[in-house]
Amino acid sequence: MVEHRGNDLPDQACMVTLAHTIAFEGMEPRAVEVQCALAPGIPAFTIVGLPDKAVSEARERVRAALAALSVALPAKRITINLSPADLPKEGSHFDLPIAMALLGALGMVTQDVLDGLVCLGELSLDGSLVGVSGVLPAALEAAEQDRSLLCPGANGSEAAWVETTQVLAPSDLAAALRHFTGQQALPQPLAKAPRDDGFALDMADVKGQDKAKRALEIAAAGRHHILLTGPPGTGKSMLAARLPSILPPLSAAEALETSMIHSISGHLGEAGITAHRPFRDPHHTASMAAIVGGGKGAKPGEVSLAHNGVLFLDELPEFSRAVLETLRQPIETARVSVSRANAHVHYPCRFMLVAAANPCRCGYLSDPSRACGRAPQCGADYLGRISGPLMDRIDLMQEVPQVDYRDLGAPAAGPSSGEMRARVQAARDIQTARFSGLEGVHTNADAAGSVLDEVAQLDTAAQGILTAFATRFSLSARAYHRALRLARTIADLEGAARIDHGHLAEALSFRQTGPTAAAA
């Protein structure tokens, strides 16, 4: 590389070049103009425009990266303005656009080239480019602006999923400069096929628990929320961990939407987009910001990272009461609002809640020989930590009892995950056809109002059963409609056009049973 010294530039009152990048407000990319001004005066390098610490430190990384290219900064006042100035700028991805704006000011890249680019990437001190988060939504924004995307090579295959824009993914700043000066063109990166790693876990591994498997199959078919209760060691977590193996794969639109959330949060990585639905299982000590989103930059929480997939909350009563109560609104609206003093953002969170709990603190309420002396009040107190409004939002409540020791030694029996997934997929296909053209309605769990009235009509016998059950257990309007949705899913699994009294009776058997009745 031929050394270029800024001191050789002709004296001008002020020289300004522009580069383009983005800042994130939740999942929404906001266009940012990187303005670079060189002016006479005492040499200095200043970044303004509401930068955070990582952006302010970019000047040292950019200075070192340019030095690695034998490019010396001019002995002038260098001012970088990130416009609009009132929009917070966070993250290391501003390194590359700042460097490109400087190269433009030094005359090494033309303004026409910069006008056609959206840039983001972190610079190492040797000039190499480090992968950053948020490249997928950045590529979509570049396509909206009719510009090419310049990003690190590690993010190239992720950005290439957006076929409507050109992606330039150099491994270092020198490669980018060679491309723009016509010395060596960069190849177009290829989008990796969605990963299909298969499933290491299979439902056939779980011995016994046929009723629990049936409950999970119904939940998967209609995206219903489910609570599993039972003594320790009965297989609640084992069953939940195998739930993704019976879920249908993500559609192309779902994969893109899910991957955008994971890209913004930095969880996508070089492995790229996956065809499998996400499975998130936070520990019960997780904070409210970790579950619903927030913290620095108001990042997505577990409810959003589980979008289009499963959120598994093991030991549900052990979660903070405040954390559990924050789940009520996301469950209903499939959308979470993160409001902070300096941020107000929205994230999608259409997830399937799977919760597990012991029947009491010691866990052996149903075993008279091991239960404590406070039974059954201890069970009501323990599960009573789960509020009634939250319990009302759970469609299925299933006990997972102890398995007989003789069954544990028997060969594996029962349906495999593949067989269950085929039935779930068939039921989902019925729902896709049923709700085609309806915005926001994808599965039976989403049906409401007149849509639910139309698809969940009951005959006289079934209506009598539901009315009697609702009266006996004082069902709320929400629980009443959830029972209808559940019955509709059971009918779909059987390929039935109408809900009969058998479908409804099975749906009602998954509500208000066993120890959960006291808590509800």
pLDDT tier for residue 514 given thresholds of 50, 70 and 90: very low
Contact 38, 74 (CB under 8 A): yes
**Which amino acid is residue 73, in one-letter code?**
L
Lowest-confidence range among 137-141, 334-338, 364-368, 398-402?
A: 364-368
Closest CA to 228 of 245, 247, 246, 242: 242
Considering the entire predicted model, what is its pTM?
Answer: 0.87
Distance (Å, whole) CA 132 – CA 226:
36
Residues 6+ apart with CB under 8 A from 17: 35, 36, 101, 102, 104, 105, 111, 114
Q: Which CATH code of 3.40.50.300, 3.30.70.2860, 3.30.70.1350, 3.40.50.2300 fits the domain covering 203-515? A: 3.40.50.300
Is it the case that residue 513 has pLDDT exceeding 60?
no
Is it the case that residue 6 has pLDDT exceeding 70?
no
Distance (Å, whole) CA 469 – CA 161:
51
In the Cβ-directed half-sphere of 481, how many Cα atoms lie within 13 Å? 16
Distance (Å, whole) CA 106 – CA 115:
16
Contact 486, 218 (CB under 8 A): yes
Both tokens of 501, joined, read 């009294």
Both tokens of 95, joined, read 């390194």
Residues 6+ apart with CB under 8 A from 179: 168, 170, 185, 186
Distances (CA, A) of 309 to 50, 167, 334, 492: 36, 29, 12, 20
**Which amino acid is residue 373, in one-letter code?**
G
For CATH 3.40.50.300, the residue range(s) in the chain are 203-515
Per-residue pLDDT tens digits for 439-464: 889 999 999 989 999 999 998 888 99
**Average pLDDT score over residue span 24-36:** 92
Phi, psi of 110 (to 5 degrees): -80, 155
For tokens 């049973």, name the residue: 513
pLDDT tier for residue 515 given thresholds of 50, 70 and 90: very low
For CATH 3.30.230.10, the residue range(s) in the chain are 4-180
Distance (Å, whole) CA 33 – CA 185:
26
Closest CA to 240 of 347, 319, 320, 355: 355
Q: What is the CATH number of domain 4-180?
A: 3.30.230.10
